[in-house]
Amino acid sequence: MRILVTGGAGFIGSCVVRHIIKNTNDEVLNLDKLTYAGNLESLNEISENPRYQFQQADICDTDKLEIIFNTFKPTAVMHLAAESHVDRSIDGPAAFIETNIVGTYTLLEATRKYWQSLDESQKMAFRFHHISTDEVYGDLEGTTDLFTEKTSYAPSSPYSASKASSDHLVRAWQRTYGLPTIVTNCSNNYGPYHFPEKLIPLVILNALDGKPLPIYGKGNQIRDWLFVEDHAQALYQVVTQGKVGETYNIGGHNEKQNIEVVKTICKILDELKPQANAQPYENLITFVKDRPGHDLRYAIDATKIERELDWRPQETFETGIRKTVMWYLENLEWCHRVQDGSYQRERLGVNS
Would you say 10 and 79 are in contact if contact means Cβ atoms under 8 Å apart? no
pLDDT of residue 352: 39
| Share above pLDDT 70 across residues of the chain, in percent, rounded to a whole number | 97
**Span 275-311, pLDDT tens digits:** 999 999 999 999 999 878 787 898 999 999 999 999 9
The catalytic residue among 134, 139, 167, 255 is: 134
The answer to whether the predicted template modeling score (pTM) of the entire model surpasses 0.85 is: yes
- How many whole angstroms separate alpha carbon 133 and alpha carbon 295? 13
Query: 58 an active-site residue?
Result: no
pLDDT, one tens digit per residue, over 136-190 is 999 887 667 899 999 999 999 999 999 999 999 999 999 999 999 999 999 999 9
Of the listed ranges 78-87, 218-227, 241-250, the one predicted with least confidence:
78-87
DSSP code of residue 97: I
Alpha helices in 117-195 (DSSP H): 120-125, 158-177
- Half-sphere exposure for 38 (CA within 13 Å, toward CB): 22
Catalytic residue check, 26? no
Q: Considering all CA atoms of the chain, what is the largest pairwise distance in Å, rounded to the nearest integer?
A: 68
Q: Please report the domains of the chain, with CATH numbers, ordered by start residue.
A: 2-349 (3.40.50.720)
Q: Which of 32, 135, 167, 301 is catalytic?
A: 135
What pLDDT digit, counting tens, does each position of 100-122 carry? Answer: 999 999 999 999 999 999 999 99
Partners of 52 in beta bridges:
28
**Residue 134 a catalytic site member:** yes
Please tell me which residue in 159, 190, 193, 248 is annotated as part of the active site: 159
